[in-house]
Amino acid sequence: MSRPDFRPFIPAPGQSAIAGATTRAHAQARMRSPRAKELFETWAKLAAAPFKGVTTDGHVQSGLFSVQPEDAPTPTMAEAANDLLRRLSPSQRSATCLPVDSQLWRHWQNTELYVEHHGLRLDEVDASLREAVMAVLRASLSGKGYDVARGVMRLNRFLGDLVGGPEVLGEWAYIFCLFGAPSESEPWGWRLFGHHLSLNCFVIGRQMVLTPCFFGAEPNYADTGPFAGTHLFEDEERAGLALMRSLSPRQQEMAIVAHSMVGGDLPSGRRHFADNLHLGGAFQDNRIVPYEGLRASEMSARQLRDLMDLVAAYMAPLPEGPFVARVADIERHLADTHFCWIGGHDEDSPFYYRIQSPVAFIEFDHHAGVFLTNAEPAKFHVHTIVRTPNGNDYGIDLLRLHYRHAAHHRHE
């Protein structure tokens, strides 16, 4: 797999997009731009709409999800979260702890702009408290999932060093929130979010939902410094490209939405200045995304196996029990799964792809530069997102079912 060089696109001294000496100063300066104002105003309108979930036509498919044990590591998660709570001051606890059904579940974003006033900001607390937060992640995620999350955070600092803004783009420039009270039986969850990262973890009993799950990096590897050797999204890139290249010419014709990622035959309005080709990014909780591309029913047995291997790469952040359950869910809906592609498919081409079914929404996108200066999408800037469509992002459908059927809630 090729590893394109990002170094020609490092901005010259004084030409960086860093606009302030601190995270708040940078955000205040950037928020004065019309484009940033427009983006955040749009997000506010989207957040104000009642939650429905990502759908293909505006109608939620019912009966897709059920409350059932999946061997989530809930006891260990609750223990780690309770240990964190004991360490928080009253003011920190007030900022960090939110109701399990809080509307702030949906208020995450993946820019570097620090505009929030809720949650625990990790670069504003001491190392022991940061470690307590990381212990919650370690207890909740697979080893691979934890490593990817930490890799995103480290590459954020690597980017900060590259562009002269380590105080803005830092390893700990992330916000942690706790929803509900940690419990082995009652619903609760946590979120960590910031630049290129949003992990939303809902847990009820021995079941968990880890979506929306946003990972990204610019660049997606470090070649010098303390994090040299960190390289993310190799599996997702390699396996996606291999699947696309395994398709017959007829299958490729069905899968390809556009050959160009910018202009050309790309449908008008398909590209967004902030999300690029992503459709399921921040605040897109209710987006209508019709199926596109090649149905899995048109794939060979080997291609189906490769498709599920690709899906498994995106489910890998889940611990073993929930991982097995999610993969099984997706396999049950394989006949209704679609795979679509935008861009080229030779070794050096940037590209976008999406895997979409009633229970899965997965996107991979090579992006243009934000802090680096490449005007066209490049393979060293990657965004990925996983959502649970039809109403179960943030575990909202499971929470609804819990409220409907739990005896103590029925009495309420």
pLDDT digits (tens, 9 = 90+) for 165-202: 999 999 999 999 999 999 999 999 999 999 999 999 99
For the chain, the structural domain boundaries read: 234-396
User: Per residue in 263-272, pLDDT tens?
Assistant: 999 999 999 9
Cβ count near 328 (within 10 Å): 10
Which of the four pLDDT bands, split at 50, 70 and 90, describes residue 410?
very low
287 phi/psi in degrees, rounded to 5:
-65, 140
Share of residues in the chain with pLDDT > 70 (%): 98
Look at the block and give the residue holding tokens 């449908």: 267
Q: How far apart are CA 160 and CA 165, in angstroms?
A: 5
Which of the four pLDDT bands, split at 50, 70 and 90, describes residue 407?
low
198-212, 320-334, 351-365, 398-412: the lowest-pLDDT one = 398-412
Q: How far apart are CA 138 and CA 146, in angstroms?
A: 6
Q: How many Å separate Cα 250 from the centre of its chain?
A: 32
Q: Which residues fall within 8 angstroms of residue 166, CB to CB, at 6 or more apart?
A: 157, 160
Q: What is the pTM of this model?
A: 0.97
Q: What is the mean pLDDT of residues 156-172?
A: 98
pLDDT at 153: 98
